[in-house]
Chains A and B, each alone.
Chain A
Amino acid sequence: GAGVSQSPSNKVTEKGKDVELRCDPISGHTALYWYRQSLGQGLEFLIYFQGNSAPDKSGLPSDRFSAERTGGSVSTLTIQRTQQEDSAVYLCASSQSFRNTGELFFGEGSRLTVL
């Protein structure tokens, strides 16, 4: 596609429910990244993919968070048993390769509100 596409743009859920956030990177970009932006924490790295593999999951805050990428394209970030502290904007970015961070393109984010 023309840019990084994320859905949903807004999600309101009840505490304890599971949510899935989707990211569709720029066509041909092999590297995909998830970041979280919250008021108190700023922008935090969560996970990145090179192709379908995730060499670095160090930023995932707990085992309730998981992510996968299939076909070297679309990625899904899943949060199980959501908590209020999960409320944040989840940003996805892609680049041609994981070394080429200068060409990092961000989507507009998925705003998650956990009631």
Chain B
Amino acid sequence: KQEVTQIPAALSVPEGENLVLNCSFTDSAIYNLQWFRQDPGKGLTSLLLIQSSQREQTSGRLNASLDKSSGRSTLYIAASQPGDSATYLCAVTLIYNQGGKLIFGQGTELSVKP
């Protein structure tokens, strides 16, 4: 059974710091991996999608990497800002599942202090 784990569960940093959020998964037979952001009381916003054949994706100050063989992904946030405060979730889709059945980690709650 695929399990997705995110470390740390919570993180508090001062504004301007670069930071790394970690995601690990137990079954390397993934179709893709996604990072989402969730603000309190809101739905999820997709940040980055990495296909299983890719190593990384970048969007602005965000960079996500994927090492399928070791079952790990990292989300790097450069020059963090208070507006980055949110819960970050990673999710995988397995290749032998129908699309859309994402398996989520428990999330990392990020707080960026001004």
Which residues from chain A sit less than 8 Å from chain B, CB to CB? Answer: 4, 31, 33, 35, 42-45, 48, 50, 55-56, 59, 91, 93, 95, 97-109
Closest to A49 in B: B100
Please name 11 pairs of A and B residues whose Cβ atoms are closer than 8 Å in the assembled complex, sorted by A.
Answer: A43-B104, A45-B102, A45-B103, A48-B101, A55-B98, A93-B43, A98-B98, A100-B99, A104-B46, A108-B42, A109-B43
* Cβ-defined contact, B34 with A101, below 8 A: yes
Task: Please tell me the number of chain B residues within 8 Å of chain A, measured between CB atoms.
Answer: 25
Report the separation of the CA atoms of residues A106 and B102 in the bound assembly, to the nearest whole angstrom: 13
* Cβ-defined contact, A101 with B43, below 8 A: no
Contact residues in B for A31 (Cβ distance below 8 Å) = 99-100
Chain A at the B interface: mostly helix, strand, loop or mixed? Answer: strand
Among B36, B43, B93, max chain A CB count under 10 A is at B43
Contact residues in B for A103 (Cβ distance below 8 Å) = 46
Q: Does B41 contact A (CB under 8 A)?
A: yes
Closest to B50 in A: A102
* Cβ-defined contact, A42 with B107, below 8 A: yes
* Cβ-defined contact, B46 with A102, below 8 A: yes
